Structure 1
Amino acid sequence: MATETAAHKGVLANAFKGNIWNSRIRSANVRAKEMWLGYVFGPFGVMLMYSVVNSYYNQYLTDIMGFTASRGAWIAIFMVIFPVLTKVIDATTNVLMSRLIDSTVCRQGKLRPWFLLSLPILVVSILMLFSVPVASPQLQAVWIFISYNLFYSVGYTMWNMAYQLSASLSSRNTDHRKNNSMAGQMAKNLGVGMISIFFPLIMTSVGAMMGDNYRQSYLACMALVCCVTVPLTFLQYFYTRERVTEERRSTHAALSETHTAVPEAPFAKQIKACLQSRYWILLIILILVYQVFNNLRDMSLIYYSGWVVQGNAYGQYAAIQAKFQMIAMSPMGPGIILLIPLVKKLGRRRSIWVCSIFSIVGSTVALLNAGHTLPVYAGTAVMCIGNLAFVYTYLSFLGDTIDHVEWKTGIRCDGATGALVGFVTAASAGIGQGLFNLGLMLTGYATPEKIGESAEGIALYADQPAAATAWINFSYQGSLLLVGVLAFILFRFFFDIEDKMDTITHDLQERHRAECEAKGIEYIPSYELERREQEELRRKAEEVRIRELKEYCARTGKDFDTLNNKVLARRAKKQAKKDAKKAKQQAGKR
């Protein structure tokens, strides 16, 4: 739902003003349509794009472009340094983006417009990434550096910072925020899963159609990814809503004649406030560690499929990767179904540390049995199940920690948190890629060398050094083993904010109520907004129903009272069933 901005001051004050840009979400509560369209299917487009770059760009450079240590020491250094160096630029763009978000007074909110504004940059940059020109290695390196920064430091930063905060600003209701955050993680993991299973097969098919010209087939596949991303990002834009932004703007507007940006604390002051919350500090550290190791794992998947799962089987890596992901990760489907009641029963915190035990055991089994298909598949499956609770719920604590900072200091830190989380997410990709490449270069990984074909026509490749395959094995399995250990320790012994959220939420609402009363204005909490809006929607819907029914009776000569009473009787019967079901559930809880 849009908020009016009569004063033309602030970032994007005059943008997206037409009603055509309004959110299609009208309810003051988060409903299933918003969760699925706005937080699962909508973000899937950019998540898909991000997963492709994270998972395949390094292989494109080492195996297709030949950027390995065998071509020179400077290339080896470049492959290690450029992803990390990019994050120096990314740090600047994250701070800038946080300031832009806090200064945004667009009628459509301070986050949603950036979903659309990031889209053309993402499309152009991903096509540049996979169309490195045939030129000198030095010119190619410059092209890679520019396009990589355009994708991560500009386009993805714009989208990701808005996305990371969207669940936090969707509602003050912690359950609604949790559901939206879990839905967002579902989209992310759906993107990774789809890429890891289907993309190598698509690549192989497109490559065969293009006469094994893999440079051109990569570019063609990126064009397909863009065709998926564009409409889904529009879906994300139209089916999300910033209720917290609306609440704060409406309260602030009651003191003036115009709706402008709610005054935000300076960035440095927000950071200082954040550092007073141990939960905020722990969560940022956790996000950084997890994202680095998760990117290390994603980066190594292709290499792991070709050199570790069945030993040296690089000629079949696409088929192995698809089979490995389908078999090893197939329990994740039923696991997600079981996760929801588990989280309801145990809570997010307890679910994470209990499930992390399975993650630790599964990763250990797979790590110690490289080349042995059955234990690798089984161990990875157990690890994936154990990792579900953490992956789908850890970001839901972001809104809780922001509320904790506001509760403790009186300062809202959306901009600073978005900047830090955006920076950590983007930086982790560079750090993970740089760390993985450092291991490849130090262990002597070489561009795969074809040495023949098997009787079945499968390409055969020369072995990689044992140290290189050991590093690839650790990068894939050892990374999440370490994450499992960290999650167990942190959530078992230190991170108990979930138990305090009822008190924090109540105190914040009472504080806002007192502030409004002191200023002589009405404070309307989210649940009251919901009640009023639903009453108004029901009233309008009833007026339309009665008018249309009267018009129908006038045309057909039927009795209005008879037909209307039938509708009211059906409605009363349906409501009675709902009331009986609700009473039964409440009796069961007692």
Structure 2
Amino acid sequence: MVAVLRGELLTHLRSPRAGYAAADGAATLIWTVVGGYLVVYYTDVAGLPAAAVGTLFLLVRMFDAIVDPVIGVVIDRTRTRWGRSRPYFLWASVPFATLAVLTFSVPDWSESGRLAWAYVTYLLLSVLYSLATIPVVSILAALTADDRERVRLSSLRTAGNLVTSVAAGAAILPLVAMLGGGDDGRGYTLAMFLLGSVSVVLFLFAFATLRERAAGDRRLRVAEVRTVMRGNLPLKIMIGGGLLINAASVTRVASTVYFCRDYLGREDLVPVLALFPVLMIVGLVLARPVAQRIGKRNALVVALIVQAIGFALPIPFGQHVGPVLAGTALASAALGLLISVEYAVLADIVDYTDWRYGVRAAGVIASLAAFSAKAGSALGGAALGWLLAAGGYRSGAEQQPAAALNAIRFCFYGLPVIVWLLVAVLLAAYKVDQQLARIRADLAAREVVADVESETRFTTRP
């Protein structure tokens, strides 16, 4: 009995589903620390001025967003015996982990020298992050053409992201304290070496377990990228909607401290609210049956509306904490559904683009999704600063002016409600779900014709 259970466990662990979850988890393990602690490391450990760090982050994110579409084209032009996307899990794993260690190892040089080190290492780390994660999105369409399996894989990917994010966030400070022995600089370096080593193992596991379906030998021409971007309405809807949602999400998350401290007078709620993303697991479990029953587009609309209700729930109750907790719980559960189905929809758009334009552009589409996320994040962070300034926010003041409190409330739940409902309306123009059966049949027929022509050329070769 034990042997049978062990065999079944090993079978599941070696499956593409486990590999796909590991691929996203490998990058998230490191990027959670970068997103949550790199600013603190730069200012408190490396001794860099806060203003210089802010400029550094803005410039690197802008450059990174511009580079993403280039990486997408490179992926679509890649031809190896392992496929187009899969080899990047192998190629990027060690460099990505190495740059993570170097980023958290600023030497004891002059201020300008330390800042130069930060620019070079963080910029290279960001590029390698894109090189490692864009293939996670682009490979999905090549793993399977089955709708149910795509949603299942997307849910497992989100689960892998969630598990590694929570693990890294919970482990990093204890690791720094334990490994550093009072020297936080040394602690961060060794902690990132440990997390980077685990990340490499997860990337290599993903490379070993995933297999791409044949994608043909045709290379994407650069001129075709403009065709894909210019006339592709479903792609425009998803990229535009993604940009808006990411911007509003960052604004909401970044305003949480202000909302709890300055409006509710309960700064102790900040770490409590940080635990609620665990409830995304509810949405992950529901993603496949909901998408199967009502379609992926409608599942996205349901997730957006439920999240908007969660965001809006505290509005009539003023400073009461209960509705804030209940609304955040509801929104977090719906977020799991939203993210899982969104990844599957991007894979459908890869098929639609191939069918409509004759261009298999999985890398470009994945890179545009990454671009919308990064550009939205930059816009959302800037929007929070602009709105706080417009409201007359006073740093360190015991009591903020009414206009500042209104700006904080708008960032925390007003703006997200508006954006989520707007994107739900935009999705009415997304019609790919109704065409999927025809798209799959036509693409399958096209592959048969291509195989016959290829075999004919081979057998008639002199």
Length-normalised TM-score, structure 1: 0.65
Deviations 1:37-84 (A, max 9, x none): 1111342121121222223334445676676xxx7xxx54x4554333
CA distance in 1, matches of 2:115, 2:293: 52
Match of 2:309 among 337, 356, 361: 361
Q: Is there any run of 5+ residues in structure 1 with no aligned partner, and where?
A: 1-29, 249-261, 449-461, 523-590
Q: Which residue of 2 aligns with 1:323?
A: 272
Q: Is there any run of 5+ residues in structure 2 with no aligned partner, and where?
A: 1-10, 458-462
Alpha carbons 1:114, 1:159 under 8 Å: kept:
yes
Match of 1:230 among 190, 200, 216: 200
Alpha carbons 2:308, 2:417 under 8 Å: kept:
yes
CA distance in 1, matches of 2:435, 2:206: 32
Q: Which residue of 1 aligns with 2:154?
A: 181
CA distance in 2, matches of 1:95, 1:392: 23
- Does 2:349 match 1:401? yes
Q: Which residue of 1 aligns with 2:285?
A: 337
Alpha carbons 1:97, 1:158 under 8 Å: kept:
yes
Match of 1:157 among 112, 127, 130: 130
Offset of 1:364 from its aligned partner?
Answer: 2.1
Match of 1:385 among 328, 333, 349: 333
Q: Which residue of 2 aligns with 1:311?
A: 265
Q: Which residue of 1 aligns with 2:6?
A: none
Q: Which moved more, 1:408-417 or 1:512-521?
A: 512-521
Q: Which residue of 2 aligns with 1:12?
A: none
CA distance in 1, matches of 2:123, 2:399: 31
Offset of 1:170 from its aligned partner?
Answer: 1.0
Alpha carbons 2:354, 2:361 under 8 Å: kept:
yes
Q: Which residue of 2 aligns with 1:142?
A: 116
Q: Which residue of 2 aligns with 1:488?
A: 424
Match of 1:347 among 277, 290, 295: 295
CA distance in 2, matches of 1:309, 1:339: 35
Q: Which residue of 1 aligns with 2:3?
A: none
CA distance in 1, matches of 2:26, 2:270: 22
Alpha carbons 2:90, 2:207 under 8 Å: kept:
yes
Q: Which moved more, 1:127-136 or 1:500-509?
A: 127-136
CA distance in 1, matches of 2:246, 2:452: 44
- The 1:134/1:519 distance shift into structure 2, 3 A limit, reads closer
- The 1:164/1:190 distance shift into structure 2, 3 A limit, reads same
Alpha carbons 1:55, 1:298 under 8 Å: kept:
no
Alpha carbons 2:283, 2:335 under 8 Å: kept:
no
Offset of 1:512 from its aligned partner?
Answer: 3.1
Offset of 1:129 from its aligned partner?
Answer: 3.1
- Does 2:91 match 1:122? no
Alpha carbons 2:90, 2:204 under 8 Å: kept:
yes
Q: Which residue of 2 aligns with 1:264?
A: 219
CA distance in 1, matches of 2:183, 2:317: 35
Offset of 1:438 from its aligned partner?
Answer: 6.2
Alignment RMSD, CA only? 3.8
- The 1:299/1:224 distance shift into structure 2, 3 A limit, reads farther
Q: Which residue of 2 aligns with 1:112?
A: 86
Offset of 1:365 from its aligned partner?
Answer: 3.0
Match of 2:247 among 275, 292, 301: 292
Q: Among the aligned pairs, what percent are the same residue? A: 22
- The 1:465/1:138 distance shift into structure 2, 3 A limit, reads farther
Match of 1:502 among 437, 443, 456: 437
- Does 2:67 match 1:97? no
Letter matched to residue 390 of structure 1: L
- The 1:281/1:339 distance shift into structure 2, 3 A limit, reads closer
- Does 2:29 match 1:56? no
Match of 1:279 among 231, 234, 238: 234
Letter matched to residue 323 of structure 1: V
CA distance in 2, matches of 1:437, 1:47: 27
Letter matched to residue 15 of structure 2: E
Letter matched to residue 45 of structure 1: A
Offset of 1:502 from its aligned partner?
Answer: 0.6
- Number of aligned residue pairs: 445
Q: Helix, strand or coil for the counterpart of 2:21? A: helix
Offset of 1:123 from its aligned partner?
Answer: 1.8
Offset of 1:371 from its aligned partner?
Answer: 6.1
- The 1:159/1:432 distance shift into structure 2, 3 A limit, reads farther
CA distance in 2, matches of 1:420, 1:281: 10
Letter matched to residue 158 of structure 1: L
Matches within 5 A, 1:82-93: 82-91=56-65, 93=67
- The 1:374/1:440 distance shift into structure 2, 3 A limit, reads same
Match of 2:362 among 414, 419, 424: 414
